[in-house]
């Protein structure tokens, strides 16, 4: 029996005596938010090179959409950013409505805002939990966050029939109206939410260890963020005042008053705090929407969902999803199936700066940085 030749685990020295170590933070990992791999070269504990490798979750969504009808792609969009299926549906519906020039009735717009902001709330809540898990907090904050998220998912189940893969938006409106008592339940739940956010804040924000782990880690300047095409809370944490709900003013957002928080330094702590502040703004939006929602039809009666043939043309529709700017670029040739269907995934675009953010940091920081960008692999790989 012969043993394989003994090779050193370390690379060739660079002459100055330092040897680097190549590590693959492999696709199976408790902290990479899905099947995401990073090939990392370390000098001691410091990162000198990082190469993200993804595609482990590629499911061919864009090509499949060319086989499905326009409506048939709607359930597939649920599975993109699988933590926030409603905003994915919404982005696709907005894009198709732009392509075909469909108007959405008022009640449907209010319903969209209500379920969309609920989705944003549960995404930011669960983000708080996940980033603590990445830091090794053994899951306390994660369990509290999931306890609250379960209540929102129960609301979705009563409304649409499924907790996550809701398939709820339709072209020109939504699929079904609130069942009896849903609005009161949602209202009562939102009343209890600020107390939960306060509890999370007292657990997390003053925590010295958390401050030491998050502050000063991977700051991104505003100019760099804009050049890299970042969007969402990551962009706003770097100080850029850009929220598509304000910029595009889609739906009935212009009627609702809310503030857009932005940070100054753009490090992991700012990205963390911005999401916490955004969750509070979402609560305000929800309360206004609950108060103002009118009666009326929930879908534009002119649109036929089956056999839907939009006119020839192309459109790019985008919304502010909890991860960033989620956009759909659709090209139609007048048929029942799209000619080209392309998604602009915020998680992937936000990841392009990962190497730059991680260079010079320690290995433990890489997990925290990845967690603070808040990616979902379903979106990155499609």
Partner 1 sequence: MNLENLPLAILKAILDAFTWCGAKAGIVVPPWALTLVSILIVIVAILSVFLVMFALMSVLERKILGRMQNRYGPNRVGPWGLFQPVADGIKMLTKEDLVPRSADQIVHFLAPIAMVIPALMLPAILPYGRGMVPVELASGILYFFALGAGTEVAVFMAGWSSNNKYSILGAMRAIAQMISYELPLVMSAVIAALVAGTLSPNGIVMAQAGVSFGVVPNWFVFTPWGFAACILFYIGALAESNRSPFDLPEGESELVAGHLTEYSGFKYAIFFMAEYIGMFAINGLLVTLFLGGYQAPFPFLEWIPSWCWFFAKLAFVAFSMVWVRATMPRFRIDQMMQFAWKFMLPMSFVALIAAAAWHYAGRGLAAWGISFLIVAVPYLLLGRFCFTRRHTVDNRRYLFSE
Partner 2 sequence: MNFPGSGLIKGMWVTLVNGVGSFFDPQRSKRLITEQYPEERPKLAEASRSFPFLIFDNDPEAGIRCTSCKICEKECPPQCIFIEQDKDANGKLFRRPKVFNIDISVCMSCQICVEVCPFESIRMDNIYEMSSYDRFGSLVVTKAQLLKSNEYYHGIHPTEAATTDARIEAARIKKAAAAKVTAEKAAAAKAAAAAKAAEEKAVSEKAEPPQPEQTA
Q: What angle do CA 273, 361, 355 make, to 5 degrees?
A: 85
Among 14, 60, 140, 292, binds partner 1 (CB under 8 A): 140
Interaction between residue 71 and partner 2 (CB under 8 A): yes
Q: Do the Cβ atoms of 72 and 309 come closer than 8 Å?
A: no
Closer residue to partner 1 (CB): 80 or 368: 368
Among 167, 238, 350, 372, binds partner 2 (CB under 8 A): 167
Segment lying near partner 2 (by CB under 8 A), choices 27-35, 146-154, 224-232, 261-269? 146-154
Query: Which one, of 347, 319, 346, 333, lies nearest residue 94 by Cα?
Result: 319
C-alpha–C-alpha distance, residues 205 and 320, integer Å:
26
- Count of residues touching partner 2 (by CB under 8 A): 40
Closest approach, Cβ 67 to partner 2, in A, equals 9
Closest approach, Cβ 64 to partner 2, in A, equals 8
Interaction between residue 198 and partner 1 (CB under 8 A): no
Closer residue to partner 2 (CB): 162 or 265: 162
Interaction between residue 375 and partner 1 (CB under 8 A): no
Q: Do the Cβ atoms of 165 and 85 come closer than 8 Å?
A: yes
How many CA atoms within 13 Å lie on the side-chain side of 299?
A: 14
Listed in sequence order, the residues at least 6 apart from 362 whose beta carbon sits closer than 8 Å to its beta carbon are: 45, 46, 47
C-alpha–C-alpha distance, residues 206 and 203, integer Å:
7
Listed in sequence order, the residues at least 6 apart from 353 whose beta carbon sits closer than 8 Å to its beta carbon are: 220, 224, 225, 228, 230
Interaction between residue 138 and partner 1 (CB under 8 A): yes
C-alpha–C-alpha distance, residues 24 and 26, integer Å:
5
Interacting residue ranges for partner 1, rule: CB under 8 A? 3-4, 6, 9, 21, 23, 25, 29-31, 45, 132-140, 142-144, 147, 203, 205-213, 215-216, 241, 246, 257, 259-265, 269-270, 273-274, 277, 362-365, 367
Interacting residue ranges for partner 2, rule: CB under 8 A? 68-69, 71-76, 78, 140, 144, 147, 150, 154, 157-162, 165, 167, 175-176, 179-180, 192, 199, 202-211, 305-306
């Amino acid at each position: 029996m012969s043993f394989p030749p003994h090779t050193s685990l370390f690379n060739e020295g660079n002459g100055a005596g330092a040897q680097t170590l190549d590590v693959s933070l492999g696709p199976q990992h408790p902290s990479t938010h899905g099947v995401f791999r990073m090939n990392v070269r370390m000098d001691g504990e410091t990162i000198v090179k990082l190469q993200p490798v993804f595609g482990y979750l590629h499911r061919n969504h864009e090509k499949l959409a060319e086989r499905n009808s326009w409506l048939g792609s709607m359930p597939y969009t649920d599975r993109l950013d699988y933590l926030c299926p409603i905003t994915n549906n919404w982005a696709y519906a907005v894009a198709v409505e732009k392509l075909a020039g469909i108007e959405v009735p008022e009640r449907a717009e209010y319903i969209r805002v209500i379920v969309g902001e609920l989705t944003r709330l549960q995404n930011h809540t669960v983000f708080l939990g996940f980033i603590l898990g990445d830091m090794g907090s053994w899951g306390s904050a994660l369990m509290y966050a999931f306890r609250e998220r379960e209540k929102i998912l129960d609301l979705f189940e009563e409304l649409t029939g499924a907790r996550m893969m809701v398939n709820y938006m339709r072209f020109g409106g939504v699929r079904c109206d609130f069942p009896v008592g849903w609005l009161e339940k949602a209202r009562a739940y939102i009343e209890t939410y600020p107390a939960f956010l306060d509890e999370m804040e007292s657990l997390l924000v003053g925590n010295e260890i958390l401050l030491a782990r998050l502050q000063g880690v991977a700051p991104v300047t505003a100019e760099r963020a804009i050049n890299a095409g970042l969007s969402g809370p990551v962009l706003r944490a770097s100080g850029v005042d850009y929220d598509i709900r304000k910029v595009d003013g889609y739906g009935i957002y212009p009627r609702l008053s809310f503030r857009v928080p932005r940070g100054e330094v753009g490090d992991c702590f700012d990205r963390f705090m911005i999401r916490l502040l955004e969750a509070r703004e979402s609560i305000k939006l929800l309360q206004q929407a609950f108060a103002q929602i009118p009666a009326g039809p929930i879908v534009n009666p002119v649109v036929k969902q089956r056999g839907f043939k939009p006119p020839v043309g192309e459109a790019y529709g985008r919304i502010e999803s909890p991860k960033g700017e989620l956009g759909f670029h659709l090209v139609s040739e007048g048929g029942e199936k799209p000619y080209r269907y392309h998604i602009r995934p915020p998680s992937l675009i936000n990841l392009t700066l990962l190497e730059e953010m991680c260079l010079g940091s320690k290995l433990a920081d890489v997990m925290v940085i990845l967690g603070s960008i808040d990616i979902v692999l379903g979106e990155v790989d499609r």
